[in-house]
Amino acid sequence: MKSPLIEFRDVHKRYGNKIVLNGVNLKVYPSEVTTIIGKSGVGKSVTLKLMIGLDKPDRGDILYRGHSIHNMPKSKWKELKKEINFMFQNNALFDSMTIYENIALPLVETTNMSDKEIKKRVLDVMETLDIAGQENKYPSQLSGGMQKRVALARAVVTDPKVVLFDEPTTGLDPIRRNSVLEMILRKQREFGFTAVLVSHDVPHVFYISSRIAVIDDGKIIFEGTPMELENCAHPVVHEFINSLEFLKNDVAGMMTSRDFEKFFEKIRREKARKISFILYEIDRYNDLIEKVGYITPYNIVCEIASTCRESCGSAIVAMGKYGIDKVVSVVNETDPEKIKTHLKVIGNNLKHREFMHSDSYTESCVEFAIYAGYTIVDNEKSLKQLIDEAKENRILLAKLLCGKK
């Protein structure tokens, strides 16, 4: 297993009488996206400030590349600190400077590069982040989303090993928020830096994250993958998941995997009720993630749920997200022909959704398909058994062929 790039060991921090961090242990691994979440005022932003050395812990240790940053010589830390950059919550762009001057500033202040070398580097980064041609404008002349791109350009122009993001999508509408998160993921892969985010944009931020850390009451109470987070039994984590992480699932009419399982077990025991189980699954979901990022595939899952809700209406008893690529539902219907009719309507509706057209994918088009299978609920069978049966009976609902409608 690879060693952590940044590690917190029993870190304590207080301001006056307020204890902010009370024994934080955290590991950030190289070339990954780690997201820190938690309620307001629990110390997320303080954790970032400690990482970059803007503040010191009262107790405990912070290691960078296995070395204590507070015990190493100042000259050594000053050199290592050049590997870390910070994208501030409010972008922190200088209004009196042009876009070019804002991006070039770290190179001017921290390197011995010539003006010619700086110009080439800045223009190259602007080209990569799709802001070429904006160099003579001022921040006030750009939209919020474009300002975020400028802030990211300034953060990566020195080719850092680590970029820290403090609420990178604050103040953006949903479309621009998703665009910025997708951009962070793409550029993290392209530049190869390690990213650490503090964010309230759940669940969206989870789908660009390799690892999630949940902070509460001054401690990290969970650290692991997004999938492990969903299955975590810690009561505070579960509460946070239900209230924040799956807000979008609630809007689409979906339960979490765990809540669906509990609800399903309850209704399965109602022997008088005749119900069916339907499984919707995206084929090549991981290929989609690899080519277009996490957010678009996740939004496809939510769109499937919305389409099912529109098509089946009151026939749906319950619906949930199961794993990352599946939507499951229970319907008050056991007539196979009527279920097939429902699925045909859903399939026709899905074909007209924007994500089922290749021109929706400006950078990469991945051919994928959406399948659905169903089975009559047997009180003696587990949810896993019903999923296996539904897979055996699955039919094609819609398919995206690149370059074709």
Beta-bridge partners for 63: 7, 68
Residues 265 and 236 in one domain: no
Residue in the block written with tokens 């309620």: 39
Give the predicted TM-score (pTM) of the model: 0.63
Residues 210 and 121 in one domain: yes
Q: What is the CA radius of gyration of the chain?
A: 24
What pLDDT sits at residue 90? 72
Is 405 a member of any domain? no
- The string of pLDDT tens digits covering residues 271-306 is 666 888 999 999 988 788 777 766 677 778 878 888
Residues 293 and 243 in one domain: no
What are the b/e assignments for 313-328, b being 16+ CB within 10 Å? eebbbbbbbbebbbbb
Total structural domains in the chain? 2
Query: Is there a contact between 334 and 317 (Cβ–Cβ < 8 Å)?
Result: no
Residues 313 and 354 in one domain: yes
Q: What whole-number distance in Å separates Cα of residue 338 and Cα of residue 312?
A: 11
> What whole-number percentage of the chain has pLDDT above 70?
90
Q: Which of 215, 247, 279 delimits the end of a domain?
A: 247
* Separation of CA 75 from chain center: 36
Mean pLDDT (whole number) for 101-124: 92
Is 201 a member of any domain? yes
Q: The CATH number of the domain where 208 resides is what?
A: 3.40.50.300
CA distances from 246 to 18, 67, 238, 260, 325 (A): 31, 38, 11, 13, 15
What pLDDT sits at residue 102? 93
- Please give the span between the terminal C-alpha atoms of the chain, in angstroms, as a whole number: 45
> What whole-number percentage of the chain has pLDDT above 90?
31
Mean of the per-residue pLDDT values of the chain? 84
Residue 317 backbone phi and psi in degrees, to 5? -90, -45
Residues 295 and 176 in one domain: no
Query: Is there a contact between 198 and 44 (Cβ–Cβ < 8 Å)?
Result: yes
pLDDT at 65 over 50: yes
Closest CA to 330 of 401, 370, 273, 368: 273
Tokens of 153: 């350009």
Q: What whole-number distance in Å separates Cα of residue 245 and Cα of residue 251?
A: 12
Residues 42 and 117 in one domain: yes
Residues 148 and 291 in one domain: no
Residues 227 and 348 in one domain: no
Residue 291 belongs to domain spanning: 248-400
- Cα-based angle 121, 144, 187 (whole degrees, multiple of 5): 40
Is 256 a member of any domain? yes
pLDDT at 145 over 90: no
Residues 83 and 73 in one domain: yes
Q: The CATH number of the domain where 364 resides is what?
A: 3.30.70.270
Is 288 a member of any domain? yes
Helices (H), 192-284: 226-230, 235-240, 247-251, 257-268
DSSP state of 212: E
Looking at per-residue pLDDT, the higher value among 375 and 225 belongs to: 375
For residue 313, name the pLDDT band (cuts at 50, 70, 90). Answer: confident
What pLDDT sits at residue 245? 44
Q: What is the dihedral of CA 381, 383, 387, 392, to 10 degrees?
A: 0
What pLDDT sits at residue 231? 67
pLDDT at 174 over 70: no
Q: Which of 188, 212, 247 delimits the end of a domain?
A: 247
Q: What whole-number distance in Å separates Cα of residue 285 and Cα of residue 323?
A: 11
What pLDDT sits at residue 43? 86
Is 282 a member of any domain? yes
Residues 260 and 241 in one domain: no
Is 152 a member of any domain? yes
Is 1 a member of any domain? no
Residues 192 and 268 in one domain: no
Residues 147 and 281 in one domain: no
Residue 267 backbone phi and psi in degrees, to 5? -75, -25
Q: Which of 224, 247, 270 delimits the end of a domain?
A: 247
Is 223 a member of any domain? yes
Q: Which residues make Cβ contacts (< 8 Å) with residue 313, sequence separation at least 6? A: none
